[in-house]
Structure formats: C-alpha cells, structure tokens
Structure 1
C-alpha cells in the first residue's frame, strides 16, 4: 500500500521528548478523547485547512457508507472542511480514517489478522464497536483512526458516537442544534470499546401523527406523495442511528398510508439497518387501518371479508402471508396475535375462554406462516406478543404463548408499567420487553401537545422492568418526535446502558444533556428549569389542567413557579449564541412557555369566576389575563411553525391536538355578581412532609430505602431497593424496611394521615402496591394504593400524579409522636405525607 498524503507526518516533531514505546504502551489502556489541540500521538482529523481521508470497503453494508457520508458532513459542520470518502481504494493515506465491519471489510479484517485490533472483543457480539488510534497499523501508514463494528449497526454506531464526542448532537437536524465551529479536530490516542447494549431491540413508535409529523412531512418533506413517506423516514432512521437505536413501529393512523405502501420505505430501512416492527394492533407487519379497511380492494381486486379469524381465516392468512413474503429479506420483528382493525379489542366469540382459544389459534397459524416462508428456524425469527389493554386480560385468562415469543409488557399509557414477568415467565427463551408511552391519545385524557414525563420516572419504571428481565425489546411511543426529543434521547441512552442513568441519578440527566446540547455554561440553569417543569407536569400535565382541581394556594404556587422558570428560560434565551437560538426555542422555551400559558389560561379563568361570585371587581382583570394567555399560546405556536429555523417546522406544532376542550378558551367572568358572602370558615392547613425528609430509616431483609430525586410530587420519593425485593406478608410487617418521621401534634384526638404515592402498578400478578403505617407503636394499618383495574380511581391517580391512602390515628398526647411508614412491596414509592 502506498502513502498518498503525508501531511500528518509533521506531528512527529512534537514527539521528540517522549519515547514512542512508553507512549504506545500507555495508550493501550486509555480511552480515546477529542481535542482541538495536537496532543502527542493524537490523530489529526482536521487541521491547517486539511482533513483526513475516510476509507470504507464496498463489500460492507449500505449503512456503513451512509454513516461515513454523514460523518463527512458532520466534520464539515464543525470545521467548514469536507473530507473525502473513498471506497475500495487500497492506497491509504499516511493518516487515514478506516471505517468497517469485522468480516465485511478487508481493512478491518487485515487489522484483526495482524493483531492491531482485538478480534475477540468484537466477533460474535451484538452491536458492539471500537474506536481506536493505531500506530503503524499497516505498512506505509503512520497512524490510523479505526472505527470497527461487530456488525453493520455496530459500525454505524461507532461513527455517530465519535461525531457526538466531537460536538455534533444527535439532534443536530431534528432540533437544529448547530455545533460551534472548531479550528482543528484531533482524536487522542487510545481505544474505546463500546457495547453490547443493555436492551437488544430499542426504538420508537411514531404515533398519533395527525397533528404534527404527518402534516409537516406532507408540506415540507414528502411533497411528491403528500404523506409521511420515504424522505421523512430517511431522517427518522438517521436519528435512530445517532441515538444508537435500531427499531421502528412506523406511523399507522388513518391519516397516513401504510409503511409498505411506499415501496421505498422498507428498502431505506434496510439501508439504514433499522429493524422493522408493527404496533400492538398490527400483526405480521400489516397496517390494518389502511391495508385491510381501505386499500384491500386495490391490492386484491375485491372487498375484504369480516375481520374475524373464526369466520374469515383463509383470507386473513393470505393477507398475512403476502406481507411475510414481501418482508422476508428485511430484518424485522413480527408482532403476533390480533386485536381489532385499529386500537380495539379482537372480534370473536363473546365467551372469554373461547376468545382465548381463538387467539391461541391465531398465533399458532401466524407462526406456521413465518415457518413456511422464512428460511430461518422459527425460534430464531424475532416475534413479540404485546398484552396491551384488554389483551392482558386474555393472557391472564390462560393464553398459552409459545416459549420463544417475546412478551412486550405495556404501561398504563401514562408511564406506569402494568405488569412484568413473574419468576416462571422470566425463564422463557423469548424473554420480555416494554412498550412505554411518553405521548398518548386516549382515556382519561390525551397528552399529545407537550412532553413532560421526567427522566426520573422513565428510569424508575424501565429500570424496574429491566430487573424483571425485560431486556429484549423496548419501544417508546414518542408521538411526533417533537417536542419529545430530550425524553426520547434519554430513553434510548438508558436502553443502551441501563447502569448509566439509574433512578437515583436520573435527575442529573437534564444537566448532562444540556451541557452536550447547549454548552456547559448553560447546563445547570437549564437543568434547574427542567426540574421544576417536570415536577409541575407530574402534578398535572399541561393537557390535564382542566381535569385536576387545585386549591387557591396550590394554584398560586404553580403560577409563581411557572413564572419563575419562564423568566429564567427567557433570560437564558437572550444569552444563547445565535446558532443555538432555534434549538433552544424548540427544546426549552416553547414547552416551558406553553405550559406556563396553559396554567395561566385555566387557573386565571377559574379565579375570575370565583372572585365574581364574591362580587370582587378584580375578577375581570383575571378574565383578561386568561384570554391573553390563550392568545399568546397561538402566537408562540405560529412562531414555532413559521419563523423558527426559517419555517422548517411548518405544520409540526399544533397547540390543540384533536381540538379537545382543554385547548379552547375556558369560561371566564364577564360580569360581577354582587351578593353577600358569609364568613368563610377557616380551614386548618395540613402538616405536609416530603417523604424523603425522614428523621431515620431502617433497612431490613437485604433491602434498602432509596431516596430518588425528581420522582413524583414533592420532586422526590422513597422506594424499596432492589426492585426484586420480595413482598412482605401481613404477619411480617416488623421485617419490612421503614422510614421514621417525628411529628409534633398540637392537639389530642383523632388525626388523619394521607400518604401520597407514585401511582405505580404491582410488578406482576398477585403483587400489590402497599405500605403500612404506625403511629406511636400502634397496630400498623396496611394500605394498597393500586386500583383493582383502570377504574375512576386510576383515572384520577394518573391525572393528578399520585395515588393515596388515608388512615385514622388516635393521638393521646400533644408533642412529639413517631410515625413509621413501612414499604411492603417492590415498586411502591412514597412521595408525601399530609397530616390533619
């Protein structure tokens, strides 16, 4: 191999004072870093108006070429210089960037053969990569930057990981996060080995796209087909790779044609190495809303029969078979089972046992279709069964699920996982996973507008799931992607490395993310804003404001807190570099201001009516404030769509998805009603204690009480660790871990204690969400805060952000009393005590 471009040899002069051998030995054990300064033995990626050349092997997967080109563009973003990407060129430069997959790249295989990279660290691993600076890797080459992957995605992840280290955010395109220009780029000597990921399949569900990404794509991306199509999915797939994700449930609402309708879609997914899937109601990669209910006649030349497997088996089998034949050469995870045509229960016999039997037959026949049409063994074809909503009751009623099918447990649509694998289910070869919402359309109320589920809650629920062996597949319902970018990135970071953001430190993610996205000087102020934003959103999401009642004191506290973070956010916006102003508006300012204005609109309207009832003239002032907030929401949304990034996002943001009443102008006082008001009865305020402010804690039976910041109301909670702790039986309460609170009671007699908890569900069948409470050593009272089903109590719980129990206690003396709260079940989180 000849040396084409020896420009990097000049750095040898910098090394005269350090023995090369000692430096080389030292770099073997250290991780690579990035720098704008030429540190000894570092690799010159860009300096003095020149860039290193990138080399790939033409035999390698398409995604490697895609990643190399993206890396070239990233270097250009950072330096205004554009590297050359060469394919199948044996004449390497003196300092090349070599990108390739073990077994698919002759460059990588040669380096492995000569021991320059460690074959065993990559071979046979899932989505693993190494990034290393190698001295004299090949004859005639002084130094190389080598990105090697164990498989095609591993290689792509390695490329994008280096981009991220250099300063290119994964959200560079999706949220206009423009990096600062750098004079030079160097990769410091060493090697970083990354992977395999904690969760095998990690991805997103584009859902409820009618008010955001679909109209936006129609106007701005896929203007030829006027739909969410191949051009949009190209950008989505690149985002997934940058987030080290690998899996997609495509958009599937009636507003959007089926993913496979546009024949380029699956081809592009394959080029980007994205694994195809289908949602809980889309068996066998079929989108029934479009392909059965609307397009069947076009595809088959006749109208479809009834969507009932017991009445129309043959037609449905053919419908599924045709898709499997079309998709068999693509990497895919097949959803098995059946629901209604869309998001409804499976049609069939009224008798539940018969329905269970029919669902079992559906799965048996679907697996036969897979076996006949895909050459791999059936157990090696990834399949999932998602017991979502009513399907969970069918599974619990005795559905026999094949051992190699992955159970994907669902949350309750509001961020609390409904059930996880019990010890027997954990032995299944198919394992389990999670379907989790950070955006939702449905009962008791949507939250499609703004994203307000905190990293602490996401980490708590998904880490709990992981400890119950749900590590095979995670899919996150992200709605339109925007404005849930940060929360989506957090979920994918967590899926990649479950130990990086544990529940007890997940509240730090916002600061880490902000440092990477906006710079270290803005990280702490942004984190402080986000902490309050998440706390207020947990107590009532902006979309839920008309469904939750607050006292006058609570309403005032919310408005004061929102005003403070809005002013902080606005002041930060003024300090933000011009290149980041659009990104800041999209990621921080619009959600904060939108939530603040929604609270003003609703709470000022209620206040105006209350004051008018008292004959208070200021009621009309609050009416004006409510109306002004309503109009301001429209204006900032117009700005998002038409001004930010030069109108790039026109159509993406709708301030009133589904035109729900909460988004309308509420009723306000227009006139004052003058009437006599009786003397208001003074109500004694309760004593409110944050659960994390305990005076003592006692851990027992191999468990501990963990304080988790940013989780639930009060902005913190205590939970029993580990998640796999065994439930405490009623006759063994003395063996449970507990927290101690010393309280001064001013009066004797009966007092009530309300314990407010995170509205979690029991970790699996038979386990509840219980605490026990004792005052001054009296008999502990046991409370289960998890509703039996998704009833009205559950609806209230998820809207107000807590479930609670109330107990009565006789206080026989004033002064100090000792309250003990025992945590009896895994997954119970105590947030707050209110004593009356």
Structure 2
C-alpha cells in the first residue's frame, strides 16, 4: 500500500485539479448504532477505524487522539490503532489535526475536501466532517480539524460525548453503554468560537476532600495535589470544553509551581493557568511567601507591604514571570493580603488606592522587562473581590487592557457589572462566581445546591453587560458539584444554549446524557425540588434559618418525597451506573434530607420538651437517627462505592462547623429553647410568581417567567437584562404582573419576596413598585446598603423582601407589581 507520506505530496501537487467549491456539507453529523448508506464506519464488526494525527502537532492533539481511542474501546470493546502521518493508510480513518500544524488536515484543506476557512483564525473552533475518498487507499474519513490546539482537542472530545463517554466517566464513574457498532452520518458539524474566551474552575477549600484524597490515592509520592491529580483534572476540563484553572491554594496544598510537573502537565493539556484574586503574578503567597520564602531565597521575607518592601516583592514576582513566560497564562494583577484578606497599607483610603495603583504599575514593568509580547497583549485580570471593590470604586486607575473580573457576593449574586463606559475598555470583563464557599455569613462546602437557573440568570446577565472575557467558577473540591460545574462550562461555551428561560431543563438534558432518556425526567424532577428546597436554606445553613412549624413539616415531607423517589428510581438504574447514581443523585439528596431531619426533629424535640410533651423523646430519636445516617452514607461514599476509589474525598463536616454536630435535643436539665419562628394566628396567603391573573409587557421589554428560580420554584422578571430602569412616575407605560386573591376586611401586610440580587451598577437598585386595589404606587428597593445583617439574612434564606400595608375590603383584592430595574425577580407575594 502507498504510505501516507508518499501520497501527501501527490495530493498537494494535484490540488489545483480539485475545485474548492466541493459540495457543501450542510447537515450536522449524528451518531447511529446501525449502518446506513453513506455513514462513516467508526467501529464495526469488532473492528475500528484507525486514528491519525501529525506528531508535529501540539501535544494535546496526541493526548486527545489516544484518549479517543480509549473511549471507543470503553464503548465497543475494540481499541482503534493510533497512527501518525507516516503510517500506512486505512480504509476508514479518523484524521485529527490543527490547521497549519497537521499535514493531513492542511492537504485536505488545500484540495477542497474540507472547507478550512470556516474555522481558520477563530478561537477554539472545530469542524467534524465526513469526507469521502480523502486520500488514495482511504475510502472514507472522519476529519476533526481545529483552528488551534484546543479547538482540535475539543472536537475530539465532542465526538467522545456523542459516542456516549461522559466528561465524568472517571470523576463520577459514569460507565458508558456498550454498543456493537458506531456509525457517523454524512455531514459536518462546526462549533465555536466559544461565548466566553477563558472558561474554567477554581479549586478551593480543598482541605477536607481533594487534597487528602489526592495525597492518599493519586500523588502518593508527594502526598499532595500534584501532577497525577492535575492530569485527571485537565482532562476533565478539556472534555467540558474548558480551558482555564485557578489551582488549589490553601495552606494544606503546596504551590502549583512547587512541583515542576504541574505546569508541564498544564502545557501538555493546553490548559491556561491563572491565579486567584489573592494570588498576583501566579504566586501562591500562603506557601511561597509565608512558608517557603526562606528556603527559596535563603533570607527571611520582609513585610507584605509594597510601600515598605517593594524590591523584595518585585523580585518575588519577577522570578515567577521568568519561570512561567513559556506557558500560556493569565496573570492576576494588584494585590490583597497574604491570603484572603485586605491589602496592607496606609490607613488613608486615598493613599491605599494610590498604593494599589503603584502595585499594578510595578507589575506591568516586570512584564515589560521579561516578555517580548507587548504588555497590553499579555492576558491580565483584576478581580475587585470583597474590599477591593471599594478601592476600585474609590478611583483606582486601572490600565485599559486589564480585564475586570467581577465577583459575586459569595452566595451566587453578582455584586456589580460593567457600566457603559467600562464596557468600552479594551480588556473587557469577566466573572468570578461561587458554587462552593468558605466564609461569612456561613459556609457551604459540603453539598452543591446552587441551581442551573440561578447560575444562568446571573452569568447571562453578566454576559449581557460585556462579561465575555473570562469566567472562573469556584467549585471547591469538584465533587459533589459535578452537574453544576458542567452546566457553568456548557453555558460559557454557548451562552444562548441555556438561557434563564430554559435553564431549568438542563437537569433533564444532563441526566439523559448520563442515565438515559427513560430516567431523565424523573431525575430532573428530583433535582428541581432539591434546588427549590435549598434556595430557602442550604443544608449547611439549616442551623441559622428559622421556619414556622408548618413550613418545617412541609420541608420534611418534601425531602422525604424526593429521597423516596430517588431510592425507587435507583432500582431502575443499570448496574454499570449504580456508583455514578449514588455520587450524583443519592448522596446529595439523602444528605440534604438527613440534615433537615436532624435539625428540624431536634427542634421539635426541644419544643415538645418545653411544653412537657412525651413526643420529645420520639423526635430526639429521629434526629439522632438522621445524624448517624449522615455518617453512614458518607462512609458508603468513601469506602464502598467504586471499590473504595473515593476514600478520603467526602467529608460530611468540613471545618467542623456547628451545623454538622448533633443539636441539643429535649433540653433535659436546661431551659426550654425556642424551636420555631413565631407566626400569626392565621396562616399567611402565599402567592407564587407563576400564579398571576394577568401581565402586560411594555415597549422594548417583556416579562419572562423562569422555572427553578427563587424560593417558590419560579420567578418573573423583566427582559432584556439591558433594559433601562423604569422611573416611578412612568408606570402608566411600564410592564406589570397582576395577582388576585380573596382577603378578609381590614389592614393587611403585603410582603413581596424577590431574588436577593444586587444592583447592576454602583448606585443602581433592585426596585419594584406595588399597587394594591388601584391605590397609590409604593416603591421599594430590596438591595441592602452594604453587606450588612439584612444582606446576610437575605442570602441565607434565599430572598430579599419589602412590605407594604393596605386596608382592604372583604372580597377579591388586586395586587399589581411593576419590576423597575433589570435583574429584579419577583418570587412570591406573602399576605399577612
């Protein structure tokens, strides 16, 4: 047979004979388990198409090619051969390559067999196309071509997903379904460029899961999160079409650059390395300044204060720039404390702002001295997180090319976005967003419970205001935040795929990909209730959020229903997916249920003890049983499923917070404890956002009902996000939603509960107007003045609210609500 090397020059020589306007492949490719006319034979009759790549291409292309061969084996049991351009041609070939880096792909482009101009020059874009007779000796090829090295890898792993290999095949033991045959339909699929340029995760608060697990299982030699662990994480990122990471950085973990194999692995996998909001210039201060400085420099570090110790700090930063400049990186500029604290400096605010400006100026001088790339073209971010936002607002002069990465309030609500002027900055903006958190007012490190609907609402809002340069998601230990992490990455890849209006459907889509369509809808319903219940109080916040006894009873019932449904559904899950189901569905649902039972039954025990009821002992026993079972299911996670693979990964009591302990029970020997929130004699009327009697849109705006958003399970808001605020004197032409309900005669309080979002810009509010029975409009702003006690209450209970009073007549009352600011979401109207 003629070698590929031999016929490459023939292809190039005769390419003028081919017309470049070959028949357009307008149909997207699809996968089939049965052979149909014209379909490409990927795997058939215990044979598999050979996989070709060019050894001159980026190393990630080789990694992806070999990973795809393993994926085919996982599905079919047949391992394809992986070949280079010098090997013999095959009848059916998968050709993988990057434009301008692959002889085969470039030859196909030159001959007009593929239309490379559709992807050329674009960021992380790929094509997957079926090509007939691409080369002599090859009947048909499946060509995966990328505009750059990551585009090629993303194309390969897109195909892996199509044949049934989940991004979580390793990280959640999602074993694919066996297929005897894999056939790809004629056509071409093109994806990219992504909506967000840099998309990735922040490994954080790893002390109770990822670090001890990695030290025990993957990186035993260094007893830490090292190259073996990062290799697995980088592969996961590529399979989710992510490209960026803030590495783990807690005191329990040595700095990313401490292990030489870490940045090498990142480069092999084409993953861009960054540093968190408190890690300027890729330096991990917790380890590298506070702990390891003397070992590295043979001198003790001076004060972490730039106005007093500039030479030493400049050298410290410059050494990392010299070490990292050969790798693809995004540099955080500015500075905070050594760890997650405010920047040391002069007490005067203006002087502190000036100092921060000098820090950034000095850092950019380091870039200029050490890099050939112009400073303005070096990817840099500035993250106004916590107190840094106030310094930025106080007048910090930030270079125009630096990307502003806006932060949420640590509980899923973005604090501020770019003004029209800021949207014109060359550096653009991005978002740092939490789905896991350690800090005030309360942690949520155990279970992941921020819904796709909320993630989409906040990140889509950010995107509408120009935040398309970088998204980084704080995922904690990765597990058990698998679905939420993948959703955020899917949204970053294509922000229009999962808009706030349809994000609630993601759980069904995701479950279908992993567990199959027959189980997907039921799993989705479980997840929807799981998120709704957590919106009112995350499992980790049960110790600080109060409920009426009626509300508590309803929570206990709702959790029992979804846990029972999950247990019943588990019987239908194929054996190959039992371990995955436990990790992804059973454990979070059961954990949340048991935490609620532990806390609420203990409260019932105390309440009954205070009135001398014998039921106190019964509830005490139920609370104790729930507490013990939390430990038992966690032991199952760590020691039983997947053959003990996850030993040390899951802790049910991170940081040993009070909420994880066994609560006080019947109060024996102690004063009676107030168990539940007091309520009025009559139950309030609760109207869900979706229960409107009518609504009216306005010119240029539309009221949208979103499922899965807010304490009631749905919310209504004004779209588009970029609509102008409504002035209170312009209600006659404004959009509104109207509710009707029967009330008794007398004075009533009308509490409007909203999603606890922040104003889009500084000094912008989250306002609504309420008109009761045609009376005078009352205007309210639900944004607290600062992160005060009201804000803390709002984020823990899942809503912000304001109340209006009105005297009504017997009969039906009409409540009309006008959302006045973009981002205002009406969740419920509660009438007392």
TM-score for the superposition, normalised by structure 2: 0.96
SS in 1 for 2:525: helix
After TM superposition, the structure 1 stretch with the greater mean CA deviation from structure 2, 344-353 or 46-55, is 46-55
Partner of 1:137: 134
Distance 1:461 1:742 in 2: 30
Of 202, 207, 213, which aligns to 2:204?
207
How large is the RMSD of aligned CA atoms in angstroms?
1.6
Q: Given that residues 3 and 86 in structure 2 are in contact (C-alpha distance below 8 angstroms), is that contact kept between their aligned partners in structure 1?
A: no
Distance 2:512 2:78 in 1: 25
Partner of 1:494: 491
Q: CA deviation at 1:670?
A: 6.0
Q: CA deviation at 1:733?
A: 3.0
Q: CA deviation at 1:732?
A: 2.2
Of 201, 223, 226, which aligns to 2:223?
226
Partner of 2:158: 161
Distance 1:388 1:521 in 2: 44
Distance 1:174 1:210 in 2: 18
Partner of 2:9: none
List runs of 5+ in structure 2 lacking aligned partners: 5-20
Q: 1:759–1:42: structure 2 CA closer, same or farther, 3 Å change rule?
A: same
Partner of 1:7: none
Distance 1:682 1:719 in 2: 30
Q: Given that residues 623 and 670 in structure 1 are in contact (C-alpha distance below 8 angstroms), is that contact kept between their aligned partners in structure 2?
A: no
Partner of 1:733: 731
Distance 1:237 1:45 in 2: 26
Of 506, 510, 532, which aligns to 2:507?
510
Q: Given that residues 22 and 113 in structure 2 are in contact (C-alpha distance below 8 angstroms), is that contact kept between their aligned partners in structure 1?
A: no
Distance 1:228 1:672 in 2: 48
Does 1:833 pair with 2:829? yes
Q: Given that residues 752 and 809 in structure 1 are in contact (C-alpha distance below 8 angstroms), is that contact kept between their aligned partners in structure 2?
A: yes
Distance 2:670 2:124 in 1: 69
Of 623, 645, 650, which aligns to 2:647?
650
Of 801, 823, 826, which aligns to 2:819?
823
Partner of 2:12: none
List runs of 5+ in structure 1 lacking aligned partners: 5-23
Q: 1:50–1:3: structure 2 CA closer, same or farther, 3 Å change rule?
A: farther
Does 1:38 pair with 2:30? no
Partner of 1:575: 572
Distance 1:90 1:206 in 2: 41
Of 169, 181, 184, which aligns to 1:184?
181
SS in 2 for 1:714: coil
Of 318, 323, 329, which aligns to 1:332?
329
Does 1:282 pair with 2:279? yes
Q: Given that residues 345 and 391 in structure 1 are in contact (C-alpha distance below 8 angstroms), is that contact kept between their aligned partners in structure 2?
A: yes
After TM superposition, the structure 1 stretch with the greater mean CA deviation from structure 2, 434-443 or 112-121, is 112-121
Distance 2:22 2:357 in 1: 60
Of 710, 713, 716, which aligns to 1:712?
710
Q: CA deviation at 1:155?
A: 0.3
Distance 2:464 2:547 in 1: 36
Q: CA deviation at 1:686?
A: 1.2
Q: 1:670–1:352: structure 2 CA closer, same or farther, 3 Å change rule?
A: closer
Of 796, 800, 820, which aligns to 1:799?
796
After TM superposition, the structure 1 stretch with the greater mean CA deviation from structure 2, 56-65 or 666-675, is 666-675
Distance 2:390 2:83 in 1: 56
SS in 1 for 2:571: helix
Q: CA deviation at 1:626?
A: 0.3
SS in 2 for 1:379: helix
Distance 2:233 2:87 in 1: 34
SS in 2 for 1:739: strand
Q: Given that residues 751 and 831 in structure 2 are in contact (C-alpha distance below 8 angstroms), is that contact kept between their aligned partners in structure 1?
A: yes
Q: Give the alignment of 1:217-616 within 5 angstroms.
A: 217-616=214-613
Q: CA deviation at 1:674?
A: 13
Deviation per residue, 1:250-300 (Å, 9 max, x gap): 000000000000001000000000000000000000000000000000100
Q: Given that residues 619 and 672 in structure 1 are in contact (C-alpha distance below 8 angstroms), is that contact kept between their aligned partners in structure 2?
A: no
Q: CA deviation at 1:249?
A: 0.0
Distance 2:253 2:679 in 1: 57
Q: Give the alignment of 1:667-706 within 5 angstroms.
A: 667-669=664-666, 671=668, 683-706=681-704
SS in 2 for 1:712: coil
Q: CA deviation at 1:49?
A: 1.3
Distance 1:258 1:299 in 2: 13
SS in 1 for 2:351: helix
Partner of 1:61: 58
Distance 2:3 2:324 in 1: 45
Distance 1:414 1:592 in 2: 20
Q: 1:673–1:62: structure 2 CA closer, same or farther, 3 Å change rule?
A: closer
Distance 1:673 1:223 in 2: 49
Does 1:97 pair with 2:97? no
Distance 1:413 1:674 in 2: 36
TM-score for the superposition, normalised by structure 1: 0.96
Deviation per residue, 1:372-423 (Å, 9 max, x gap): 2111111111000000000000000000000000000000000000000000
Q: 1:681–1:433: structure 2 CA closer, same or farther, 3 Å change rule?
A: closer
